Amino acid sequence: MSLLEIKNLHASVNGNEILKGINLSVNAGEVHSIMGPNGSGKSTLAGVLARRESYEITQGQILFNGKDLLEMKPEEAACEGLFLAFQYPVEIPGISNAYFLRTALNAIRKFRGEEELDAMDFLPLLREKMRLLEMDEKFLNRPVNEGFSGGEKKRNEIVQLAMLEPKLAVLDETDSGLDIDALKVVSKGVNAMRSKDRAMVLVTHYQRLLNYIVPDFVHVLVNGKIVKSGGPELALELEDKGYSWTENEPVGARR
Amino acid sequence: MSTVDQIQDLTKQEYKWGFVTSIDEDRLPNGLNEDIVRAISLKKGEPEFMTEWRLKAYRYWSTLEQKQAEPTWANVKYPPIDYQGLCYYSAPKQKKELKSLDEVDPEILSTYAKLGIPLHEQKLLAGVAVDAVFDSVSVATTFKAKLAEAGVIFCSFSEAVKNHPELIKKYLGSVVPYTDNFFGALNSAVFSDGSFVYVPKGVRCPMELSTYFRINAQNTGQFERTLIIADEGAYVSYLEGCTAPVRDENQLHAAVVELIAHDNATIKYSTVQNWYPGDKEGKGGIYNFVTKRGKCAGKNSKISWTQVETGSAITWKYPSCILQGEGSVGEFYSVALTNNYQQADTGTKMIHIGKNTKSTIVSKGISAGHGQNTYRGMVKILKGATGARNYTQCDSLLVGDKCGAHTFPYIEVKNASARMEHEASTSKIGEDQIFYLQQRGIPKEEAVSMIINGFCKAVFRELPMEFAVEAQKLLSISLEGSVG
């Protein structure tokens, strides 16, 4: 059974249909990339998976780990092991990064029936992950994302990913706004999290991220539908020919 | 379900401490006149000077009442109060003087237990001395011996009148004279009890002093009077916490607090106020009309007010500082939360008189449900206050779209050397923030309370540690139900 099974998913925002019948199946251990032009529905798909409330699901089904994802609250999906790295991480003034992450980790551990971590056990772990992402320790006590640069925010997302160890990580445009050095650091962090028990879905506009995080599968999303699927070579082909190329391709071409 | 709807829901938490203790009461008939004032004074066995002072206050208040001079400038709405329909004295009956906690009425003790008040001996180890005020009369005072060792006087106001009349004569009304305002005058005439603290020269009070007030009897206005004096070089930190049971009728509470800090003395006064706010429809709840003022009389003295106000149907409260001594410092840190139909008009006055005086104001207002939250502050720099400085930060957070936040800052500067800073912000609690925390596994209610606690952090860190934790819990409880 797949870790994530999306069947004929239709979703609307304010009555406008954005996703028009998505089918996707992701197994543990796999890295999938969803590529597509602006407005194709990539971020909507990421948002639906994370159970953001602004979307109306009109048709279809999503099974996550065999459970009905569309019945879960966002925090339940998170506790079940679904993680979203945000395209625009939010600032939470007055709450330190460390306190926030410990609260999150303990909420998830509690859900799993594990013991909560106290600060003594938690901090060394967090420090280790921050080193991996080359983040200064001063970020431990800074309020969540407040005054962080764009790159620092994205790295902070991956620190969270590393701490929360989800079954499925959805990365929404994690490469946007990153310079090449930051992109390498972030990719290193993401690659370190690849494992046979964990799946990843990389939502991205550009192929360049995929030079550093090489996916097993690439899907092209155009106008709310997956129009083409293939291996990593598909991303290169897209880079070469542009998205308009896929629009003329027969739908039957997908795997 | 939209977040707005869910936010409406966040407010559906019933008042957790709504229980009524049945004990025999000793109460005077309703209404107010000179005889009632005399009777209160007599019941308390007060010396002549107190009776006279009360009567003067009553006469003054009476002229105000006849002129219908109850203040109306605050941004709050409530039906007229029938002052002749209220009872001005009610005390639990006691047969004899209490020597230890064992002698306290077990019902009273169990009430305190429900409130989580640390009355018992082991709690003393936590460093908290409690002067518990139960419907106006102190029933138990702990830690007295230890305080006495340090020379600190911490007792009920009535005891202080009996045992330290010279201090009462000297300081009572010296910061808030009975002519100060309508509610202050009323309090001066009828106050039933309260706390008294005197910290002698050079003494650092060895523990946090704490008083819990509890309003219990029906239709009883509660009129507390607190007087704290820190002599030269002394330091004291005082915490006042309040909870009251559910009542349908509105209950009037008009307290007066006076603080006096002499040369190089520091008084830190913290309040956690959680009186019954009324129900979801805005029925019932406490009217909290309080006059709190501190005088930095000596040079380099400091008075710091920290308040967390989550209760009461109506709050009318402006803890202020008169910065008279050269180099004296006044601080005001405030979190005020209004939910359902609560109204709060609160803030501070910083009156700079002495040279190089400094004041800091940090106000955080949170409005949820149909709550209306007003910050009203005045910073006044008088002519002689050369080198005065003020920093004001005033932030409002809105939860939902039916509440309101209002800000009325007044600044009056009569000395050109003054430096004033004012920052203000109003924001809505973000759906994106809530979702971000939820996506990390944190349940929605916890997410909201986390965001709000973050918003209030600058104030919470001014509270004594154990009370900061309590204040955070209180805030979460007060907001429970206002988000899905």
Residues from chain B that touch A94, judged by Cβ atoms under 8 A, are 453-458
d(CA B335, CA B354): 28
Closest CA to B429 of A104, A94, A154: A94
Selecting from A78, A79, A92 the residue whose C-beta is nearest the C-beta of B451 gives: A92
Q: pTM above the 0.90 mark? A: no
CA torsion B312→B317→B321→B322, rounded to 10°? -150
Q: Tell me the average pLDDT across B63-91.
A: 83
Q: Which of A34-43, B88-97, B321-330, B386-395 has the lowest mean pLDDT?
A: B88-97
Q: Is residue B24 pLDDT above 60, yes or no?
A: no
Pairing of strands A16-26, A4-13: antiparallel
Q: Is residue B181 pLDDT above 60, yes or no?
A: yes
Give phi and psi for B162, each to the nearest 5.
Answer: -75, -45
* Residue for token pair 């007030």: B213
Selecting from B436, B441, B455 the residue whose C-beta is nearest the C-beta of A111 gives: B441
> Between chains, do B443 and A86 touch, taking CB under 8 Å as contact?
no
d(CA A201, CA A205): 13
Nearest CA in chain B to A91: B433
Residues from chain B that touch A92, judged by Cβ atoms under 8 A, are 433, 436-437, 450-451, 454
Residues 6 or more apart from B190 whose CB is under 8 A from it?
A: B32, B36, B37, B40, B54, B58, B88, B89, B221, B223
d(CA A158, CA A174): 9
Q: Which of B250-254, B410-414, B419-423 has the lowest mean pLDDT?
A: B250-254
Terminus-to-terminus CA distance in chain A, angstroms? 18
pLDDT attached to residue B249: 57
Written as six digits, the tokens of A157 are 């997302």
Residues from chain A that touch B443, judged by Cβ atoms under 8 A, are 75, 107
> Between chains, do B455 and A86 touch, taking CB under 8 Å as contact?
no
**pLDDT confidence bin for B14, thresholds 50/70/90:** low
pLDDT attached to residue B136: 44
Q: How far is B237 from chain A (nearest CA, A)?
A: 25
Written as six digits, the tokens of B411 are 């600044």
Mutate to test the interface with A, among B440, B445, B459 (most CBs of A within 10 A): B440
pLDDT attached to residue B463: 82
**Under DSSP, is residue B295 helix (H, G, I), strand (E, B) or coil?**
strand
> Between chains, do B442 and A73 touch, taking CB under 8 Å as contact?
no
HEC-encoded secondary structure of chain A:
CCCEEEEEEEEEECCEEEEEEEEEEECCCCEEEEECCCCCCHHHHHHHHCCCCCCEEEEEEEEECCEEHHHCCHHHHHHHCEEEECCCCCCEEEEEHHHHHHHHHHHHHHHCCCCCCCHHHHHHHHHHHHHHCCCCHHHHCCEECCCCCHHHHHHHHHHHHHHHCCCEEEEECCCCCCCHHHHHHHHHHHHHCCECCEEEEEEECCCHHHHHCCCCEEEEEECCEEEEEECCHHHHHHHHHCCHHHHCCCHHHCC
Q: What is the pLDDT along chain A (255 residues), one digit of tens a residue?
A: 799 999 999 999 989 999 999 999 999 999 999 999 888 999 999 999 999 988 999 999 999 999 999 999 999 999 999 999 999 999 999 999 999 999 999 999 999 999 998 888 899 999 999 999 899 988 988 999 999 998 999 999 999 999 999 999 999 999 988 989 999 999 999 999 999 999 999 999 888 899 999 999 999 999 999 999 999 888 888 888 877 777 655 444 444
Tell me if B147 sits within 8 A of B102, measured CB to CB. Answer: no
d(CA A20, CA A225): 6
Q: Is residue B360 pLDDT above 80, yes or no?
A: yes
Nearest CA in chain B to A111: B441
Residues from chain A that touch B440, judged by Cβ atoms under 8 A, are 78, 100-101, 104, 107, 160, 164
Pinpoint the alpha helices (H) of B135-285: 144-150, 157-163, 165-171, 182-190
Selecting from B435, B453, B456 the residue whose C-beta is nearest the C-beta of A52 gives: B435
Closest CA to B452 of B338, B282, B318: B338
Tell me if B310 sits within 8 A of B337, measured CB to CB. Answer: yes
> Between chains, do B441 and A84 touch, taking CB under 8 Å as contact?
no
**Of chain A residues 90-119, which have a CB less than 8 A from chain B?**
90-95, 100-101, 103-105, 107-108, 111
**Helix-helix angle B48-66:B182-190, to 10 degrees:** 140
d(CA B189, CA B50): 10
pLDDT averaged over chain B?
81
Residues from chain B that touch A100, judged by Cβ atoms under 8 A, are 437, 440, 450
Selecting from B435, B438, B455 the residue whose C-beta is nearest the C-beta of A94 gives: B455
Q: Is residue B115 pLDDT above 60, yes or no?
A: no
Amino acid at B50: M
CA B478 centroid distance within chain: 17
CA B308 centroid distance within chain: 9
Selecting from A52, A78, A94 the residue whose C-beta is nearest the C-beta of B440 gives: A78
Written as six digits, the tokens of A248 are 């003329």
> Between chains, do B436 and A90 touch, taking CB under 8 Å as contact?
yes
DSSP H/E element including B38: helix B34-43
- B366 and chain A in contact, CB less than 8 A: no
Nearest CA in chain A to B432: A90
pLDDT attached to residue B11: 44
- A52 and chain B in contact, CB less than 8 A: yes
- In this structure, is the dihedral angle defined by the CA atoms of residues B461, B463, B465 and B470, taken in order, positive or negative? negative
**Under DSSP, is residue B109 helix (H, G, I), strand (E, B) or coil?**
helix
Fill in the DSSP letter of residue B93: -
* Residue for token pair 């009975």: B178
- B469 and chain A in contact, CB less than 8 A: no
Selecting from A73, A94, A160 the residue whose C-beta is nearest the C-beta of B454 gives: A94
DSSP H/E element including B3: helix B3-9
> Between chains, do B456 and A103 touch, taking CB under 8 Å as contact?
no
Selecting from A83, A93, A104 the residue whose C-beta is nearest the C-beta of B442 gives: A104
DSSP string covering B173-184, please? TSSS-TTS-HHH
pLDDT attached to residue B271: 87
DSSP H/E element including B60: helix B48-66
Q: Is residue B109 pLDDT above 70, yes or no?
A: no
Nearest CA in chain A to B446: A103
> Between chains, do B456 and A94 touch, taking CB under 8 Å as contact?
yes
Written as six digits, the tokens of A231 are 């291996």
**B125 or B342: which leads in pLDDT:** B342
Give the burial string for B226-261 (b: 16+ CB within 10 Å, else e).
Answer: bbbbbbbbbbbbbbbbbbbbbbeebbbbbbbbbbbb
Give phi and psi for B295, each to the nearest 5.
Answer: -115, 115
Give phi and psi for A124, each to the nearest 5.
Answer: -60, -40
Tell me if B346 sits within 8 A of B315, measured CB to CB. Answer: yes
d(CA B108, CA B102): 11
> Between chains, do B458 and A94 touch, taking CB under 8 Å as contact?
yes
Strand ordering across the sheet containing B419-428: B137-141, B128-134, B208-214, B235-243, B266-274, B302-309, B329-338, B358-367, B389-398, B419-428
- For B425-448, what is each residue's pLDDT tens digit? 888 888 899 999 999 999 998 898
Pairing of strands B195-199, B302-309: unpaired
Mutate to test the interface with A, among B333, B425, B433, B438 (most CBs of A within 10 A): B438
- A73 and chain B in contact, CB less than 8 A: yes
Nearest CA in chain A to B6: A53
Q: Which domains does chain A have, with CATH numbers?
A: 4-253 (3.40.50.300)
d(CA B243, CA B214): 6
Q: Chain A to chain B, count of Cβ pairs less than 8 Å apart?
A: 80
Nearest CA in chain A to B433: A90
Q: What's the length of chain B?
A: 484
Fill in the DSSP letter of residue B480: T
d(CA A76, CA A61): 17
Mutate to test the interface with A, among B393, B431, B439 (most CBs of A within 10 A): B439
- B225 and chain A in contact, CB less than 8 A: no
> Between chains, do B441 and A160 touch, taking CB under 8 Å as contact?
no
Query: ipTM score here?
Result: 0.94
pLDDT attached to residue B69: 77
Beta bridge mates, B224:
B193
**Of chain B residues 433-452, which have a CB less than 8 A from chain A?**
433, 435-444, 446-447, 450-451
- Report CA Rg, chain B: 22
pLDDT attached to residue B420: 94
Pinpoint the alpha helices (H) of B132-180: 144-150, 157-163, 165-171
**pLDDT confidence bin for B121, thresholds 50/70/90:** very low
Residues 6 or more apart from A104 whose CB is under 8 A from it?
A: A78, A160, A163, A164, B437, B440, B441, B442
